[in-house]
């Protein structure tokens, strides 16, 4: 009986391991496909649409892909300055940022900060949910390694700018530029770019609270550093 139980346990573990490997292969296949094909949807887009349609079944998303060269240099610099100042220097992870996040999590006794880079945020947006858990962070790290090992920094920033959320149902730089400034992303000014970048951490809230003191302080801070931000050509 004991031998039978051990055999059953071994087979179960082997099956689970095979499923995990198949899932990782599925993820990696998508990462490879998106090297030169543009994602039409993401996990965050699907989740956001589902939430909107609970209130309004006819709700839809505003999203229009534009190539890297048709996004304002000001927005590229503002996003890097705001979200990941070491973007061109790291290989997917900001060690100092992670150490600071770990200390904060230990102090709080739960996962409250992630120290995420642009690459990590992109991995989460493309494939994962918004929940905070150590398991999700682990999967996020694996996907980040997949992306960083196969994509250029230019491609990472291009996809990131085209898929992140900028308000309820608003995804990508083009939709955001047209929603808030009635112009294409290519024509965003320095001031407008800083204001959009300031929304990224909490876009649904900032969509209706752009006059808040916290938001204005964040805009001013981004404007102070964005001209020195290094971005892919």
Q: Rounded distance, CA 145 to CA 15, Å?
A: 25
Q: What is the pLDDT of residues 100-132, one digit of tens each?
A: 655 554 454 444 445 699 999 999 999 997 777
Do 180 and 167 fall into the same domain? yes
Q: For residue 81, what are the contacts with CB-CB under 8 A and spacing of at least 6?
A: 197, 222, 225, 226, 228, 229
Q: Where are the alpha helices (DSSP H) in 68-189?
A: 73-83, 95-108, 118-127, 134-150, 153-163, 173-181
Do 172 and 188 fall into the same domain? yes
Q: Rounded distance, CA 183 to CA 177, Å?
A: 6
pLDDT given for residue 180 in this prediction = 97
- pLDDT (mean) for 161-184: 97
Q: Indicate whether 155 belongs to any domain.
A: yes
Please give the model's pTM, rounded to 2 decimal places. 0.89
pLDDT above 80: residue 222:
yes
pLDDT given for residue 111 in this prediction = 41
Q: Are 225 and 110 in contact (CB under 8 A)?
A: no
CATH of the domain at 87: 1.10.3810.10
Do 91 and 76 fall into the same domain? yes
Mean pLDDT of the chain: 90
Do 27 and 40 fall into the same domain? no
State what percent of residues in the chain have pLDDT above 90: 74
- pLDDT (mean) for 199-215: 95
Do 51 and 119 fall into the same domain? yes
Do 158 and 52 fall into the same domain? yes
pLDDT given for residue 140 in this prediction = 95
| Number of domain units in the chain | 2
Do 9 and 23 fall into the same domain? yes
Do 191 and 95 fall into the same domain? yes
Do 68 and 101 fall into the same domain? yes
Q: Indicate whether 51 belongs to any domain.
A: yes
Q: Indicate whether 53 belongs to any domain.
A: yes
Do 72 and 168 fall into the same domain? yes
Q: Indicate whether 233 belongs to any domain.
A: no
Residue 64: domain span: 34-228
Q: Rounded distance, CA 71 to CA 79, Å?
A: 12
Do 172 and 207 fall into the same domain? yes
pLDDT above 90: residue 81:
yes
Do 99 and 140 fall into the same domain? yes
DSSP string, 98-110: HHHHHHHHHHHTS
Confidence of residue 230 (pLDDT cuts 50, 70, 90): very high
pLDDT above 70: residue 164:
yes
């Amino acid at each position: 009986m004991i031998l039978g139980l051990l055999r059953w346990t071994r087979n179960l573990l082997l099956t689970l391991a095979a499923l995990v490997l198949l899932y990782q292969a599925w993820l990696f296949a998508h990462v490879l496909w998106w090297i030169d094909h543009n994602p039409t949807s993401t996990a965050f887009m699907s989740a956001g649409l589902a939430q909107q349609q609970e209130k309004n079944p006819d709700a839809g998303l505003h999203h229009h892909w534009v190539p890297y060269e048709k996004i304002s240099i000001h927005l590229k610099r503002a996003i890097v300055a705001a979200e990941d100042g070491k973007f061109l220097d790291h290989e997917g992870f900001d060690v100092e940022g992670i150490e600071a996040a770990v200390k904060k999590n230990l102090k709080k006794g739960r996962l409250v900060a992630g120290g995420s880079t642009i690459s990590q945020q992109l991995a989460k947006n493309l494939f994962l949910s918004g929940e905070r858990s150590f398991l999700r962070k682990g999967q996020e790290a694996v996907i980040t390694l997949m992306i960083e090992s196969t994509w250029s920094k230019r491609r990472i920033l291009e996809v990131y700018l085209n898929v992140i959320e900028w308000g309820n149902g608003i995804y990508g730089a083009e939709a955001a530029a047209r929603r808030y400034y009635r112009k294409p992303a290519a024509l965003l000014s320095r001031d407008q770019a800083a204001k959009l970048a300031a929304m990224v951490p909490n876009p649904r809230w900032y969509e209706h609270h752009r006059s808040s003191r916290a938001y204005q302080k964040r805009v001013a801070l981004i404007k102070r550093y964005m001209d020195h931000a290094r971005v892919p050509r």
